[in-house]
Amino acid sequence: VPSTKHLAFQPCYRDFRCTRVQLPLDWWNGTFPDRHVSLAVTMLPAKVPVTDPRYGGPVLLNPGGPGGSGVDLVTARGLAIQTLIDSPVDPASEAPENSTSKYFDVVGFDPRGIGRTTPGAHCFRSASIRESWNLRLDSQGILGSSDAVLGRRWSMVNALGASCAGRHDEGDVKHYVTTASVARDMLEVAELFGQYREAETWRILTEDAIEMCEAHGACASLQLPEIYVPGTEKLQYWGFSYGTLLGSTFASMFPDRVGRLVLDGVVHGSNYMKTLWSDNLHDTEKTMQAFYDRCAEAGPTACPLADGNSTAADIQSKALAVLDKMYHNPISVKGEFPEIVTWSDVRLFMFMALYEPLQAFSRMAEMLAAVARGDEDGEMEDYLTGKHFFACAAKGNDTDIAQVDGEASMAIMCSDGDPQDFLDMDGMEEHWRKLDAISPSVGAMWAGHRMNCANWKFRPLYRFTDFKPEFGGDTANPILWIGNTADPVTPLINAHKMKSLFPGSEVLAQNSPGHCSLAAYSPCTVGYIRNYFNNGSLPAPDTLCEPVEIPFINPSPELHLLSADEMQAMDAHQGLSRSFAKNAWGLGKAMLPGVESGLSLKLQDDA
């Protein structure tokens, strides 16, 4: 698809439209004016044409990361997103002029440096070289797995940072991938959609006029009302996880251009921009406790860690006993490849399961039970295949195209934040111990994010704090923030902190464990999201939505209470949830050990 300065959509992926938009490498300083970013954009068109009064315009998406591919999200689940935000009324069943329904284009883009957008923010010449490096890094284990692991991992990420910086020039895209630059890209895309809407309106009305003229002789000059006013287009957007940081950055930089912003699984902007990564884990142990509670409630038929009389405390004791046993005694596994399961493997598996409890709590219980049994007959291989080995097809395409890789995520988050080159290993250990005190289950793994940034050598030419010192603004339209009561990496308090900076916005809480509202289907939550996109209405303060899906309980006893429209929305929601479980889109997930090597793909079915 050629890169142009407008939206030149072409058919792609069967029902979708694709284009590439040429954007400046440097929006603010004008450096390297001959270099550009070619932004990959994919759209699932609305169910009605742009001339229909029910046409709601484009809704842009970001799945998170940083480093998640909006193109992948839309091509995989664009129809599901449309089902959740569109009016449930069939557009063919009602007269457009008497309707309050809205139908939206669903639009995904790969942020600069990511996926199909070029140039890519890569440090390795090929996927196989990257995979080999990641396997070596993962083999060191997580912090706390040995006395030497901190020094080894520190040296390895330092080598990566130095090597990556040493083979690139000042015009490298990694200097220009900050969230502020992506927010400016989104503003341009919103503006280009205004031009596109006007051009499409002209095209449709002209074709209709020609048809009328030829059929009935009713020929007249075409008068088109003003459709597009430059500089006034507003953004409609649904951002998940890191995508909330992108959304709040946009709202802070361009408050007058906010149309509808749903920010789901909220990142605290100030903490992120200081590269502290210290306020993400305040609800992590709540999520872990939800595993113990739900397992005990479900009993042995659904949770193999339980027996008929197990309490949540009993389940926790069994899980901790497994970890204690694994620390010095990895399990040998017989299978297609020689394999061992280590303490780090189990800890990492448990952490990733917290992102998607519905998809992964049952798998986590099965895995812990298998470890407790000392399984050596191949059952454990199913959980770890892809983490310690990788296979390439004989004629495989060993390119970087459309990959989500850790160094691209690193380029974004480390460029966004304050430099950490003052941090040494002693300071790093202190940071790790503080996170461990907040969340014993996850702190050792989460500490790696700041370690990566301490050794990242690229600095941006422009970032958000160059624009304004703090987040906030009086937006043209209010923002809808969404948070779960037990989110492992974006605690609900973050949504309230960010809400306080944007007058008129509101928080919607969902009473479920897991990351983002996709962790469990709630007709209440989906209803508020749909109403917000359709008419701008917000929930009342302190609204708490209950889910109808509960880990270990399938099917939910409340399913028979759902309407046909709600059942359709649940199917769409479950498909979207599976895609999030399958990909490294959750906050910080792309840089966890083993994720790039494939461990996260074994947390759920690939249906």
pLDDT (tens digit, 9 = 90+) per residue, 444-453? 999 999 999 9
Q: Is 257 helix (H, G, I), strand (E, B) or coil?
A: helix
Of the two residues 55 and 216, the one the predictor is more confident about is 55
Range ranked top by mean pLDDT from 269-283, 328-342, 553-567: 269-283
Q: Is the pLDDT of residue 535 over 60?
A: yes
pLDDT tens string 181-199: 999 999 999 999 999 999 9
Which has more confidence, 69 or 217?
69
For the record, the structure tokens of 274 come out as: 């200081």
Q: What is the pLDDT of residue 518?
A: 97
The whole-number average pLDDT for the span 5-31 is 95
Strands 16-24, 479-486: pairing is unpaired
Non-local (6+) Cβ contacts of 491 within 8 A are: 279, 280, 281, 282, 283, 483
Region 576-592: mean pLDDT is: 88
pLDDT, tens digit, 9 for 90 and up, residues 156-167: 999 999 999 987
pLDDT of residue 393: 53
Q: What is the pLDDT of residue 582?
A: 86
Average pLDDT, the chain: 91
Give dist(CA 300, CA 430) in Å, integer: 41
So what's the pLDDT on residue 559?
Answer: 82
Superfamily assignment of 41-119+176-277+464-546 in CATH?
Answer: Alpha/Beta hydrolase fold, catalytic domain (3.40.50.1820)
Question: Of 320, 324, 314, 305, which Cα lies nearest the Cα of 364?
Answer: 305
Phi, psi angles (nearest 5°) of residue 144: 95, -10
pLDDT of 384 above 70: no
pLDDT tens per residue, range 118-140: 999 999 988 888 888 988 988 89
Res 398: pLDDT: 45
* pLDDT for residue 221 is more than 70: no
Give yes or no for residue 595 having a pLDDT over 80: no
CA distance 379 to 333: 8
pLDDT confidence tier of residue 556, bands split at 50, 70 and 90? confident
> Quick one: which of 119, 59, 54 has its CA closest to 87?
54
Helices (H), 101-178: 127-138, 149-166
Give the pLDDT score at 400.
Answer: 41
**Residue 236's closest CA among 467, 402, 46, 99?**
46
Nearest residue to 337 (alpha-carbon basis) of 392, 382, 393 = 382
Structure-model confidence comparison of residues 504 and 584, the more confident one: 504
Q: Return the percentage of the chain with pLDDT > 90, whole number.
A: 76
Q: How does 102-133 read in b/e, with b if 16+ C-beta sit within 10 Å?
A: bbbbbbbbbbbbbbbbbbbbbbbeebeebbeb
Helix (H, G, I), strand (E, B), or coil: what is residue 55? strand
Contact 573, 80 (CB under 8 A): yes
Range of weakest confidence among 86-90, 248-252, 375-379, 575-579: 375-379
pLDDT at 222: 62
DSSP, residue by residue, 307-376: -TT--HHHHHHHHHHHHHHHHH-PEEE-SSS-EEE-HHHHHHHHHHHHH-HHHHHHHHHHHHHHHHHT--
What is the spatial distance between Cα 59 and Cα 504, in angstroms, rounded to a whole number? 21
pTM for this structure? 0.95
Determine the average pLDDT of the residues in 13-37: 95
What pLDDT is stored for residue 597 in this prediction? Answer: 44
Residue 601 predicted with pLDDT over 50: no
Tens-place pLDDT, residues 325-358:
999 999 888 777 778 889 999 999 999 999 999 9
Cβ-proximal residues to 35 (8 Å cutoff; 6+ apart), any chain: 25, 171
Instruction: Taking residues 516-544, report their average pLDDT.
Output: 98
For the chain, percent of residues with pLDDT exceeding 70? 89
Name the nearest CA neighbour of 450 among 416, 411, 424, 420.
420
Count other C-beta atoms under 10 Å from residue 95's C-beta.
6
Residue 263: both structure tokens together: 């920010």
Distance CA 29, CA 36 (A): 13
Give the mean model confidence (pLDDT) for residues 81-95: 95
